[in-house]
Chain A
Amino acid sequence: MSNQKKRIFQIEAFKNRVVVDPKYAEKTWKILEHAIHEIYNHNASGLSFEELYRNAYNMVLHKFGEKLYSGLVTTMTAHLKEISKSIEAAQGDLFLEELNRKWNDHNKALQMIRDMLMYMDRTYIPNTHKTPVHELGLTLWRDNIIHSGKIQSRLLSTLLELVHRERTGEVIDRGLMRNIVKMLMDLGSSVYQEDFEKPFLEVSAEFYRRESQKFIECYDCGDYLKKAEIRLNEEIERVTHYLDAKSEGKITHVVEKEMIANHMMRLVHMENSGLVNMLLNDKHGDLGRMYNLFRRVPNGLAMIRDVMTSHLRETGKQLVTDAERLKDPVEYVQRLLDEKEKYDGIISLAFSNDKTFQNALNSSFEYFINLNSRSPEFISLFVDDKLRKGLKGVSEEDVEIILDKVMMIFCYLQEKDVFEKYYKQHLAKRLLSGKTVSDDAERSLIVKLKTACGYQYTSKLEGMFTDMKTSQDTMQGFCSSHPELTDGPTLVVQVLTTGSWPTQPSITCHLPFEMSALCEKFRSYYLRIHTGRRLSWQTNMGTADIKAIFGKGQKHELNVSTYQMCILMLFNNADRLSYKEIEQVTAIPASDLKRCLQSMACVKGKNVLRKEPMSKDIGEDDSFFVNEKFASKFYKVKVGTVVAQKESEPEKQETRQRVEEDRKPQIEAAVVRIMKSRKVLDHNNIIAEVTKQLQSRFLANPTEIKKRIESLIEREFLERDNSDRKMYRYLA
């Protein structure tokens, strides 16, 4: 090795152009074409991936991409046409299977082909904006198989047939369905929609239309809804198993429309099984189902709500105007409470506490409770009954529950001021006769009323309780400062503050000497402590316990009213007294006197007196004697009754009149308040504002408001505006 120069290793380009053998492209293509054939014929195992890749690579490199691509298209298309024929040839049920199998094959083939031609996929195709291999494979499949004349319609009808069979109860091959459907989805959403989904929805609509028609004729409402629910769930399940998730909303919409929306009216109003029947029978399950189904369709819930509302209003109206029911106020209110509880139950259990239903319930109750103007009085009587005896022995929590329920009904009243008037009367009677079951319950209710209506509403009621307590203290002071009075009749005085208690102007009757002396002592004691006050004895409100010994030595203790005591004491000094004599000596007002005498002389078991003549009514010429033969199995006999009762017609008129009178100053005060702050306001707005301000007490009548405004104009609190007659102006 001598004279070897060190040479830098160089690579030089070919000095002469390499001419590619024109036949080279054709030859290479033939190799690849053959490979594709083999792949489709399941003979891929004999191929060398590396070699094929290289061949494809070279073709593209040497600018024969076009040939390769078009060759691919041609070859693939030819194969697909073959495949198409074999699919077409499949008989009956095998059609889908064959399609499925060929589809799987095609996908596998496509995979391999794509791998093989990856270089082309990555370079030639993007550069020429041609369809990539995989996508090309799908498109060709779509065009040659799915959209081939003989296959397209057959495929669709097969799929629909299977769905139909499944709907009629047959079991189908869901896996196969899923694959086919997935195939359609893979081919593009428009393929899925056009070639399957749209017709599917149409056919389903037709199916459910027919089915619902059949069902509505032979099933009652509850059963029909069960069927509809089943179908709905089936469809949802079908989608999860073998359809595109996006189809769920569409198919459920079809079922909802055909099975529910189209028959809503008929279902709700179905005789003996519709909504009203379900409500009457508390069919919570059916109602819940109806609610859940109907909420899916437009106006579904509105329809339920409307029917419920009108039914409730009608039922309620009957309740409050039923003459039988009106005889017993306690029963009346109990029925209202029961109705409320029933519907509360329905709304919470079946209507998932839907607020709009709650509102419909409230407005309905408000509507019918106020149809009967005696509702406030009756509710007060109900409470009176409960506080007097109904709550005896009931636990504290249960008491709260009952009172809360009553409060809910109370809140529906528009004329809360009427209730207040009655409540005051009834409370006064309860307090003064000591007949309340639980002080805590009484106070608890007052608190609830205060929360609902404000401090002013209950201030007088609370005043009544305070008076009772103060009276106790006063009595203690009186007794301890007059120890000499321990022998002799016991006096218990309740001092009532005028204004807090319901006023009943009355003349003081003449008390028996024993009592009047005692009362005087009390009066002087009290006025010594509270100079400047005035006391007047309310003899129409008191009670007395008298010990009596009758003709045969029977001893009894009689519980009577003050008036009755005055009458009875007279018989200590006289055997026989005429009506006129009694009237004169006692100075008891005639109507009260007659009532007292009647309860003592004409009522079995309480007839401590005898009268001549023995007629039922008290006449002015009657004479009275002690009933020496009086007998009662009880030692203590209650003769007087000071229990709260439903008012008689004239009493009711009187109370109503007093309420109306009380409202006038309230309206005026509201008008003045509003005008003072607004200075100038038009007529309609005043009416609206006044109504709103007084809403918590009563519903103000626009005519009445107008009258009050005119009265205020006359008294120069307001004037009409000179230029705009609609406006009123505040006069400072």
Chain B
Amino acid sequence: MLLFVSVSSKAKIKGLEKIDRLFNTYANSSLGMIDPEGIEALCSDLGVDYTDVRILMLAWKLKAEKQGYFTQDEWQTGLKALGVDSLSKLKKALSDLEKEVEKPSNYEDFYTYAFRYCLTEEKQKSVDIESICELLNLVLGVQFRPQIDSLIEYLKVQNDYKVINSDQWINFLRFCKEISFPDLENYDATQAWPLILDNYVEWMREKHS
């Protein structure tokens, strides 16, 4: 939602100035970008915990590449897209952001982004189980509480997989959306579900027999 309509470049520059000033409040001057410390500060100013899912959503909106960092470009583009140029406006926008993410057209994109955001090393393709469990809880916990709790329990207990890749990650969401729970009746192991979910379903069925 763009509030700025390019009428006068002066107005544009003015709006941009405010955004930049806000940026500089939190940025690490030597790095030229907001670092984890800065984000923590931003969070406390916004009144949210820095592990809150809304910060993740903000990162998604900013299309932040690196976890824990916001570049100036990302900041500018993101805040412009949100239509905010002050802290108070940003605070308000956060709650709107929640609704925006929940829109079906955005949700899968956000979900995939959440995984990518965790790939901190170059060429890293998978995320460790611990982090995945936390991420699942954060991202899907509210909407699919029982499935996520059960899945997290399984992930911690099993030892076939020590990391999760993006293919498996995306299928977790599909699983929650498509498979009836807790009976898992419409799950078909001969279909193209990742093996980890086949194992999970088997584990569930054994538990409940």
Residues of B within 8 A of A725 (CB): 174, 191-192
A711 to chain B, nearest CB (A): 10
Contact in complex: B195, A706 (CB < 8 Å): yes
Of A683, A703, A707, A714, which contacts B192 at CB under 8 A? A683
Partner of B194, one of A710, A726, A727, A728: A710
Which residues of B155-173 have CB atoms within 8 Å of chain A's CB atoms? 165, 167-168
Classify the secondary structure of A's interface with B.
Answer: helix
Question: Quick one: which of B126, B174, B194, B198 has the most chain A CB within 10 A?
Answer: B194
Minimum Cβ distance to chain A for residue B84 (Å): 33
Q: Is B125 an interface residue (CB 8 A)?
A: yes
User: Cβ of B190 < 8 Å from any Cβ of A?
Assistant: yes
Is A726 a contact of B191 with CB atoms below 8 Å? yes
Is A683 within 8 A of B191, CB to CB? Answer: yes
Closest to A703 in B: B195
Residue A289 CB within 8 A of the other chain? no
A-side contacts of B190, CB under 8 Å: 683-684, 687, 702
Q: Which residues of chain B are within 8 angstroms of A683 by Cβ–Cβ distance?
A: 190-192
**Contact (Cβ within 8 A) B192 A726:** yes
Distance, CA A243 to CA B156, complexed state (A):
86
Query: Are the C-beta atoms of B191 and A710 separated by less than 8 Å?
Result: no
CB closest chain-B residue, reference A727: B192
Closest A-chain residue to B125, C-beta based? A714
A714 and B191 CA atoms in complex are apart in Å by 18
What CA separation (Å) do A684 and B195 show in the bound complex? 14
Name the interface residues of B162-205: CB closer than 8 Å to any CB of A.
165, 167-168, 174, 190-192, 194-195, 198
A74 to B176, CA, bound (A): 100
Nearest CB of B to A55, in Å: 97
Residue among A687, A714, A720, A728 making CB contact with B165, cutoff 8 Å: A714
> With a CB–CB cut-off of 8 A, which chain A residues contact B195?
703, 706-707, 710
Task: Give complex CA distance A682, B192 in Å.
Answer: 8
Give chain A residues whose Cβ lies under 8 Å from the Cβ of B125: 714
B167–A710 touching, CB < 8 Å: yes
- Bound-complex Cα distance A683 to B174 (A): 17
Cα–Cα, bound, A710→B194 (Å): 7
Whether A714 contacts B167 in the complex (CB less than 8 A), given A683-B191, A703-B195, A706-B195, comes out as yes
Chain A contacts for B174, CB-based, 8 A:
725
Any chain B CB within 8 A of the CB of A713? Answer: yes
B167 near A720 with CB under 8 A, answer: yes
- Tell me which residues from 112 to 143 in chain B have a Cβ below 8 Å from any Cβ of chain A: 125-126
Render B75-99 as a binary contact track against A, CB cut-off 8 A, 1 for contact.
Answer: 0000000000000000000000000
Give the distance in Å from the alpha carbon of A699 to the alpha carbon of B165 in the complex: 28
Complex CA distance for A714 and B194, rounded to whole angstroms: 11
- Smallest distance from the beta carbon of A232 to chain B beta carbons, Å? 52
Q: B-facing mask of A700-730, CB < 8 A → 1, else 0?
A: 0011001100100110000010000111100
CA distance A230 to B195 in the complex (A): 65
| Complex Cα spacing A707 to B168, Å | 12
Report the separation of the CA atoms of residues A324 and B125 in the bound assembly, to the nearest whole angstrom: 53
Nearest A residue to B194 via CB reads A710
Interface centre among A687, A703, A725, A726 (most CB of B within 10 A): A725
What 9 pairs across the A-B complex have the smallest Cβ distances?
A: A683-B192, A713-B167, A714-B165, A706-B195, A726-B192, A707-B195, A710-B194, A683-B191, A726-B191
Give A residues with C-beta under 8 Å from B: 682-684, 687, 702-703, 706-707, 710, 713-714, 720, 725-728
Cross-chain pairs A/B with CB under 8 angstroms, 6 sampled: A710-B167, A710-B194, A713-B167, A725-B174, A725-B191, A726-B192
Residue ranges of B at the interface with A (Cβ–Cβ < 8 Å):
125-126, 165, 167-168, 174, 190-192, 194-195, 198
Besides the known contacts A683-B192, A706-B198, A725-B191, 17 further A-B residue pairs in the complex with CB atoms under 8 A apart: A683-B190, A684-B190, A684-B191, A703-B198, A710-B165, A710-B195, A714-B125, A714-B126, A714-B165, A720-B167, A720-B192, A725-B174, A725-B192, A726-B191, A726-B192, A727-B192, A728-B192
